[in-house]
Amino acid sequence: MSTSTVTAREAAEVAAANASGRQPIVFVHGLWLLQDSWDGWKAYVEERGYAAVAVDWPGDEPTYDAAHAHPDTLAGTSVPDVADHVEEVIEGLDRKPVVIGHSFGGLLAQIIAGRGLAAGTVAIDPAPSQGVLPLPFSALKASFPVLGNPLNRGRTVTLSFEEFRYGFANAVSEQEARELYRTFHTPAPGRPLFQAATANLNPWAKTKAAKTNADRGPLLVITGEKDHIVPFALANAAYKKQRRNQHHPTEIVEIPGVGHSLVIDSHWREVADASLAFLGRSGLGA
């Protein structure tokens, strides 16, 4: 019998969501962030009648300080490891949740939707799934701190401020970028980036997301106009792949003037409002 990967914190949030009877929203973070990057969002959606659950990645430390004190706990963590963990958390909910994910969390949200586990999905600046072909220069440059060394496949990588500034925080002031780096940036596993980078060469790719399933649910792709890691070409390619679903609506929204840090920087409420507006249009309002 396999051991549960659900943490006490996750179990408590699931229990609270079930007790509330409200529509749950499950939040999935991406690389270089922790679940507390969703704290503002959680309060925001709960004020609007939803129940919020933020998932960890298996091996995540509970805090920024602990993550930097123990930087190798995520070494070797793969996309399927996280997807299976998110599925286990969702299995504890009484109602099928909305799933909102950012970056690799946006890819994971699509994988979960493809498994038929999401009532609706918002993929924010999503990492590319298998079949998403563009390779913009900015995305390659932003990924180079990981992909530039093959040994990083089995390691965790901590970005320098300059790397974080280019990849995440290029669309905010230097002062805000430094504050985001100081409060949110944590070591991340290299393996998911290698899995994404080789997905189109591998028919059994671990980043494959089923897109045409009848039980996928409505799906929104949100893209930041100035994102370097997932520029419009990548997000739009994901949208075009997901649009093939004939059973549920698929939409794309571009948020002007924002980069990859759009879920944690001073523009996050604009992104949250676009997400909630989509849920309302899709019959998933609180």
* Residue 13 vs residues 22, 123, 156, 157, 282: alpha-carbon distances, Å: 12, 22, 28, 29, 25
d(CA 184, CA 200): 31
Confirm if 132 and 60 have CB atoms less than 8 A apart.
no
What is the reported pLDDT for 179?
98
Max intra-chain CA distance, the chain:
50
What is the reported pLDDT for 198?
64
What is the reported pLDDT for 204?
47
What is the reported pLDDT for 51?
98
d(CA 16, CA 53): 9
What is the reported pLDDT for 277?
98
d(CA 188, CA 158): 7
Going from the first residue of the chain to its last (286 residues), give the mean pLDDT of each consecutive group of 10, the final group possibly shorter.
Answer: 86 98 98 98 98 97 97 94 96 98 96 96 89 62 83 93 96 98 97 75 56 92 96 92 94 98 98 98 92
d(CA 131, CA 150): 23
Q: How would you classify the pairing of strands 98-102 and 24-28?
A: parallel
Which class in CATH covers the domain with range 8-281? alpha beta
Counting every residue written for the chain, the total comes to 286
Residues with Cβ within 8 Å of residue 140, at least 6 apart in sequence: 147
What is the domain partition of the chain in residue ranges? 8-281
What is the reported pLDDT for 260?
97
Phi, psi of 280 (to 5 degrees): -60, -45
* Residue 98 vs residues 24, 53, 205: alpha-carbon distances, Å: 6, 10, 25
Strand partners, 54: 27
Q: How would you classify the pairing of strands 120-124 and 98-102?
A: parallel
pTM of the predicted model, to two decimals? 0.95
What is the reported pLDDT for 275?
98
- Specify the DSSP element, H or E, that contains 101: strand 98-102
Helices within 184-267 (DSSP H only): 191-197, 232-242
Classify residue 164 by burial, with Cβ atoms within 10 Å: 0-12, 13-18, 19+.
buried
d(CA 85, CA 26): 12
Classify residue 186 by burial, with Cβ atoms within 10 Å: 0-12, 13-18, 19+.
buried
* Residue 199 vs residues 18, 79, 185: alpha-carbon distances, Å: 37, 12, 26
What is the reported pLDDT for 246?
94
Structure tokens at 221: 């792709």
